[in-house]
Amino acid sequence: MENYHLELNDVDEFIPELASEFGTEYSEHLGEFQLEIPESKGEGTIKGINFPNGIGLYTYHCKLNTDISLCISQPFIKPIRFIYCVKGEVQSHFKNDEDLVNISDHQFLIVAPTDKEKHSLIFNKDKDIVVCYLEIDRLKFQQYFSFDLHDLEPVFYKIFSDIQAKNRISETGSFSLKTADTIKEIRNCNLTGFPRINFIGAKALEVLSYMLARFKKESQRFESNEMKEKDRKAIEAAVEYIDANISQTGTVNDLAQIAGVNTNKLQEGFQVIYGKTVNEYIRDIRLSKSLNMLTAGNKNVSEVVYELGLSSRSYFSKIFKAKYGVSPRKVLSGKATSNKLQK
């Protein structure tokens, strides 16, 4: 097997770096990159394009004469990948073969490495492979939401809110014929220039929509086995109380009593649904609300701290800057730029 390690500092570096590793050329037009597989490794094409909303679309149509592993690390980006195997098969793993997952015809894999963790895709020789995946920069994707992230359904909040990549994701399932048809439209698109870029961008969102609907359906089946209905309703009650009483949420024990479960059950439920502890959830709710309040500019930092029920202004400034990369005062004064708010 030939192994290639690609350390990427920017989303547009993938195909240029891969071309360099393969010892071949690539082309680029209006942000869409294309690489022809060199004859020494097989035949086929790899294409990739990244859009301003944080979504990247990559398609592989190839037949290799040697097994190839692409090990991808992105130190400054915390991506999540929605991988669709249209034909053939592809394998995925993290640190070692114990994490190996195989998907074949009409199966999907949603995968996200933890911070500083590498993710590998393996393509086996002598197989006609058609793979399409969406790579989403979760932080950049959030900037395009016209609503608060916490308004998302829990099943989606869990995968899109983890902008610091604390939790590994590796979920498989089967995708619908609608998804396959849309991918086929992308692959068969004969448009050129700017119309092509717009068409591909719209179809990428369409694929994502179908994929999320399918993921939700399969997740509900999984969660129904993992969590009882009574416990799920208890978590919902706790979340409603937190949202309505963000300035005085009380302790975890208080919330457990309100929800009607013990503290361990409450913590377990938040980990299953949100991928974080109760206190981490409350902190993130407060930070999200504080950003909205400061951006509106109607309250000063001290007023925001008081309204959110935080006792220390210095602590608030510390956790705010840790998440957003800029101090609350700079946001309030209008000196913060959108680039600085990407952490």
Domain identity same for 130 and 161: yes
Which of 28-42, 101-115, 202-216, 307-321 has the highest average model confidence (pLDDT)? Answer: 28-42
C-alpha Rg value of the chain to the nearest Å: 22
Q: What is the CATH number of the domain that holds 139?
A: 2.60.120.10
Average pLDDT over residues 59-75: 94
Same domain flag for 245 and 316 = yes
273 in the same domain as 198 = no
Q: Are residues 202 and 299 in the same domain?
A: no
Q: Let me know the angle formed at the C-alpha of 278 by 273 and 280, rounded to the nearest 5 degrees.
A: 100
Give the pLDDT of residue 341. 46
In a domain, 341, yes or no: no
Q: Are residues 246 and 309 in the same domain?
A: yes
CA 286, CA 128: separation in Å to the nearest integer?
50
Do 161 and 248 lie in one domain? The reply is no
pLDDT score for 329? 87
Domain boundary among 176, 196, 224: 224
Domain CATH for 280: 1.10.10.60
CA distance 185 to 213: 20
pLDDT, tens digit (0-9, with 9 covering 90-100), for 142-182 = 888 888 887 888 888 888 888 888 888 898 887 776 788 88
Pairing assessment for the beta strands 2-7 and 68-73 based on DSSP bridges: parallel
Nearest to 186 by CA among 140, 137, 134, 144: 134
Per the structure, the complete domain to which residue 142 belongs is given by 2-224
Quick check: pTM over 0.85? no
Rounded to 10 degrees, the C-alpha dihedral 313/318/320/323 comes to: -170
**Look-up of token digits 């979920």:** 171
Assess whether 302 and 318 both reside in one domain.
yes
Q: Is the pLDDT of residue 342 over 60?
A: no
Mean pLDDT of 33-55: 96
Domain count for the chain, please give it.
2
What sign has the CA pseudo-torsion 303, 306, 311, 315?
Answer: negative
Together in a domain, 211 and 249:
no
Residues 197, 242: one domain? no
* Residue whose structure tokens are 């609503």: 147
Roughly how many angstroms between the first and final C-alpha of the chain, as a whole number?
37
pLDDT at res. 298? 79
Last residue of a domain, one of 224, 258, 286: 224
